């Protein structure tokens, strides 16, 4: 199951990054263009499934003895917990955006997008640092 972690992540990272970027664009700049909101909501729904799969496969991969021997704690610990935090954040913000949609305050919408982008980028950076240890 752990061998699927990179495959699930490559799809998820693009999807979830575009999701939060869509929210920043819609709530921050283009409130009159509903495409960005609908695009973000559709991607958010799909991301909710894939982020759970990414965390499950990642935790499975972390138990691999080769990974435990090769990877340093300084990169694995933040990557694992930021990934779990990203999962919880994605699952918690989806109902908020889904229920409020156009009625959500623009400041909250932009904040949801910016925090989401920050979490995605931090998980990806630590993940690539881990990946570089295997080359």
Instruction: Write out the two tokens for 28.
Output: 């921050």
Q: How far from each other are the two terminal CA atoms of the chain, in whole angstroms?
A: 22
Query: In the prediction, which pLDDT does 135 show?
Result: 54
The pLDDT value given to residue 130:
67
pLDDT under 70: residue ranges of the chain: 1-2, 74, 130-135
pLDDT at 111: 95
* Confidence (pLDDT) at 128: 73
Report the pLDDT value the prediction gives residue 1, as an integer from 0 to 100: 66
Q: What is the tally of structural domains in the chain?
A: 1
pLDDT computed for residue 59 by the predictor? 83
- pLDDT tens figures, 50-71: 999 988 888 887 777 777 777 7
101 and 37 Cβ atoms separated by less than 8 Å: yes
- Structure tokens, 4: 């699927």
Domain that holds residue 34: 2-132
pLDDT of residue 107: 93
């Amino acid at each position: 199951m752990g061998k699927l972690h990179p495959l699930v992540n490559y799809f998820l990272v693009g999807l979830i990054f575009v999701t939060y970027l869509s929210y920043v664009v819609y709530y921050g700049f283009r409130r009159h263009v509903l495409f960005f909101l609908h695009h973000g909501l559709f991607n958010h729904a799909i991301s909710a499934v894939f982020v759970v799969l990414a965390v499950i496969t990642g935790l499975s991969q972390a138990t691999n003895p080769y990974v435990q021997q090769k990877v340093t704690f300084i990169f694995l610990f933040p990557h694992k917990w930021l990934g779990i935090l990203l999962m919880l954040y994605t699952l918690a913000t989806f109902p908020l955006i889904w229920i409020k949609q156009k009625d959500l305050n623009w400041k909250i919408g932009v904040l949801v997008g910016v925090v989401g982008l920050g979490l995605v980028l931090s998980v990806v950076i630590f993940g690539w640092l881990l990946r570089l240890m295997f080359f």
